[in-house]
Amino acid sequence: DFNTVIGNYKQTVLHPQSNQAFTATDNGSIIVWSQLKNGQWKALKVVNIQKDAITTLVLWNSSFLVTGDVTGKVKFYDTQLKFKTWFENFGIEGSIIGISFTSESDKNTSISSYKNLAEVESSFTVADFVITTDKSSYLYFKPEDNEVLTSDKCVIVFQWNQQNCLWFYLGKSRAHYKEVMDLMFMPALDEDMARLFSLSLDRMLVEYDLINSFDSLKVLVSDRIEQEAVPLCFIPYPPIVKENFFIVANDAFKIKLFNSTTKMCRQTTLSPAYGSQVGLTILPFDGNPYKSMALIAHKQAHDVACSFDGKYLFTCGGSDPNVLMWVIDYSALEAASCLGGDGLNPFYSLLEGGQNGHLFSELEDYFYFCQIRSQGIDTMMPREVSSKISLSEVPFLMRALGFYPTEEEIENMINEVKFSEYVDTGKCMDSLDLEDFTKLYLNHRPAFGLQISQVEKAFKTVTHQDGGEYKIQKEQLIKLLQEKGEHLNESEFFDCIMSSTVNSDNLLCTEEELRNYLPKEISSSTFIKKVLKFPELKVID
């Protein structure tokens, strides 16, 4: 306990030639620590050296403490906390969060070459140093090409020069308008140099042209790979199939396989909904819940890495300062997978009520009705008996089961089935059986269904309101549906309203009744009750 206000700790440095340590705080103080014989640390004194909050602290040349603060100043103190000099007017905005000095002794610079300095009694030289004003959220090292990538909203590439033993700046690019979530190298199919990709919260996948990048990092192609979900990370798919894939995991608990050349989504599967736990899964992905397991490792798992031999796993937490090492036991997961059974048996647990429940019974009824529908409901001709339905029936069957996919999601589902055997047989599939459809439905539907909180969030976005009940004019809502996203014309909009609207005689409403059905001003609660017909109005935060 201290007898004075010290603020929050920002950074601590150890003195290599003594048993002392120094901690900077956000109220402008430095705490001096001394190590006792029992290994514990004791605070010797607290010195308030400035009014502004200190954001970073480094020890230079084992003789000087260097601070960076919220005003953009860099100040030098000796180890007795006596002020020496400062640098300012770097042309930056905001706080300094990092300071790094060159290790070359011949790069020392005299402060006399700088104009914006305090007066000093004697000469004082410092090594060249670099300041940073923002953090880098990702760092990736590619040892085979001696390249390092770093990113926040920009992607920066450095290449190692073996002759000079220096890192060479290859270039940088700001191809995203939101934070970069992940970086990835993939082997090129017909070139020696690897392919570089970046994935961002803006839902864009960007590939860079490393071959033609010299002074700047050039963008080769940019593709939007998600419509609503936010991609979080991606990795190359192991070479267990003939095609070249990469895997993308998103915040909707889905894992997607993309062709690395065409960027086409070739498969979507339900991922384990374990939150921040650390787990294992068996390839290939198929959504089988018995093929994955998880253990609670951290309050929030920040990153994970596997050893080169696949026997050990290393995890680090976000808020807890721990790195854990795990031994991987594949036999336990394989045994659990066998207990799940074959075919649809492991997937019944994902259906409400299981195999004998109401949902699977409805699914079977709708599936066989689609067979009749595709051949004509009123036909008198002999019907063809089949265990499959046409791909064209998949969207209608999905909607009948309460899942309303977008046009892009429908295209992904059809492509997934259509090209599922193309590499092996050279033929496109045009139908699927009950087992394949059930797996398709379970993997593509929302992991937790349609939540009222999603509707509230959508109304908040389009109304630009900060509080209260979110409302929008009826004509404005129709205009948004006609101009934004996947377009609906006015007749299609009222068809959607008609599908859930009947009059007092249980008959479909007329066009005039439909226009008067919705009020001029539509709130989120009105939309939920009158259009979506949710049984219970309960907003989930």
Per-residue pLDDT tens digits of the chain, which is 541 residues long: 667 778 888 889 998 888 889 999 988 999 999 988 888 888 888 999 998 899 999 998 888 999 999 988 999 999 889 998 888 888 777 788 888 888 754 445 554 444 455 554 556 778 888 888 877 766 777 666 666 667 677 888 887 777 777 777 788 888 898 988 888 888 887 766 788 899 999 999 999 988 888 778 899 999 999 998 999 999 999 988 888 999 999 999 999 999 999 999 999 999 887 655 677 888 989 999 999 888 777 777 778 888 989 899 998 877 777 888 989 988 988 998 998 889 899 999 999 999 999 999 999 999 988 888 877 776 667 767 678 899 999 999 998 898 889 999 999 999 999 999 888 888 999 999 999 999 999 999 998 877 788 888 888 888 766 667 788 888 888 888 888 878 777 777 777 776 666 544 555 566 666 667 778 888 888 887 777 777 654 444 4
CA dihedral 431, 433, 435, 441 (to 10 degrees): 50
Residue environment code for 182-200, b if the CB has 16+ CB neighbours within 10 A, otherwise e: bbbbbeeeeeeeebbbbbb
Query: DSSP string of 285-343?
Result: P---GGGEEEE---SSEEEEEE-TTSSEEEEEESSS--EEEEE--HHHHHHHHHHT-ST
The residue extents of the domains of the chain are 9-109+123-226+279-340, 348-444, 452-531
Give ∠ CA 498-501-505 in degrees, rounded to 5: 120
End-to-end CA distance of the chain: 39
- What region does 512 belong to: left with phi over 0, alpha with psi -120 to 50, or beta? alpha
Measured distance CA(182)–CA(110) in Å, rounded: 41
Which one-letter amino acid corresponds to residue 87?
Answer: F
Which pLDDT belongs to residue 106? Answer: 43
Specify the CATH architecture of the domain 348-444.
Orthogonal Bundle (1.10)
Q: Are the beta carbons of 205 and 239 closer than 8 angstroms?
A: no
Domain topology for 9-109+123-226+279-340: Methylamine Dehydrogenase; Chain H (2.130.10)
Which one-letter amino acid corresponds to residue 78?
Answer: D
Task: Look at the pTM and tell me if it is higher than 0.85.
Answer: no
Q: Are the beta carbons of 246 and 184 closer than 8 angstroms?
A: yes
Which pLDDT belongs to residue 263? Answer: 93
Which pLDDT belongs to residue 451? Answer: 78
**Nearby residues of 195 by Cβ (< 8 Å), 6 or more positions away:** 185, 186, 187, 188, 207, 210, 260
Q: Which tokens go with 315?
A: 């995890």
Measured distance CA(434)–CA(141) in Å, rounded: 46
Give strand ranges (E) for 124-260. 125-127, 129-132, 138-142, 147-151, 155-161, 166-173, 180-186, 195-200, 204-209, 218-224, 231-236, 245-250, 254-259
Q: Are the beta carbons of 68 and 98 closer than 8 angstroms?
A: yes
Overall residue count recorded for the chain in this entry: 541
Alpha-carbon Rg for the chain, nearest whole angstrom, is 31
